[in-house]
Amino acid sequence: MTRVAGTLFFLTAVGAALFLFFIKQQVREMEEELGIAHRNILRHQEAIQVLRTEWSYLNRPARIAELAERHLAMQPLVARQFVGFEEIPYRSAGAALPAPAQATAQATAQTATLTAATLTAAAQTARAGGAAP
């Protein structure tokens, strides 16, 4: 009985020691990994910071304005281009629609943006078409 208990205690102690050793080893390895990860994070953060700065530098309004002028057929938005919902004409029943070809030509001739001028023109055509017959 005594001997059995003693052996049992001894084995437990050895087991615990081994367990502790392996856990400790594992922790050390993981800490090393963590250190590497931290260094990587720092390196990437610095790289991101450099890229963010470059992004900000490339987005200088003066440069964007120049690029837009060179590559885009667009103009600054003017107040006339904003139209409220109430100003968009309803299609009245039975009224002749404006000829699609004409309308498209008009739209492309200006820009792709829906301008107030085209809308009023469309409304006038619609009204004129309705009155003609």
Q: CB under 8 A: which stretch of 13-21, 45-53, 66-74, 97-105 binds another protein?
A: 45-53
- CA distances to 48, 70, 113 from 74, rounded to whole Å, are 33, 10, 9
Note whether 41 binds another protein by CB under 8 A: yes
Note whether 53 binds another protein by CB under 8 A: yes
Give one DSSP letter per residue of 49-115, joined into a string: HHHHHHHHHHT-HHHHHHHHHHH-------GGG---GGGSPPPPTTPPPPPHHHHHHHHHHS-SS--
Taking CB under 8 A as the criterion, which residues in 80-109 touch another protein?
A: 80, 82, 84, 87
Instruction: Tell me which of 4, 56, 91, 131 binds another protein, using CB under 8 A.
Output: 56
81 versus 129: smaller Cβ distance to another protein: 81
Phi-psi region for residue 94, left (φ > 0), alpha (ψ -120 to 50) or beta? left
Q: Which two tokens stand for residue 61?
A: 């309004």
Note whether 11 binds another protein by CB under 8 A: no
Q: CB under 8 A: which stretch of 14-22, 49-57, 105-113, 125-133 binds another protein?
A: 49-57
Taking CB under 8 A as the criterion, which residues in 64-83 touch another protein?
A: 76-80, 82
